[in-house]
Amino acid sequence: MNKTPLQLQESDKTESLRSLNVAAERWGVSIWTARAWAQAGKIETHKLGGRRLVSESEIHRLIESSRVPARADAQTKTATV
């Protein structure tokens, strides 16, 4: 979901915004992937002029939602090696 600056909620006004390039680097994906995610609505972005910005909380949300817990058998393999 993309928001224009006029649609920002009160809590968004004090939050740090980062460029989509910076967000893509933090996620470990190409800028093209980040742009596709924004276009598909997978990430929430804000447009400011010609720039597309991502909030710090959105960067962290995607990182946290992408975490996969370690498998139990993977832990025992490292313990027995």
**pLDDT higher than threshold 60 for residue 81:** no
Instruction: List, for residues 24-71, the tens digit of each pLDDT value.
Output: 998 889 999 999 999 999 889 998 898 999 998 888 888 888 777 878
Give yes or no for a contact between 17 and 53, defined as CB atoms under 8 angstroms apart. yes
pLDDT at 20: 92
Q: Is 43 exposed, middle or buried (0-12, 13-18, 19+ CB in 10 A)?
A: buried
pLDDT of residue 7: 52
Residue 19: strand pairing partners? 53
Longest dimension (CA), the chain: 57
Dihedral of alpha carbons 10, 15, 16, 20, sign: negative
What would the mean pLDDT of 72-76 be, rounded to a whole number? 65
Mean pLDDT of 2-24: 69
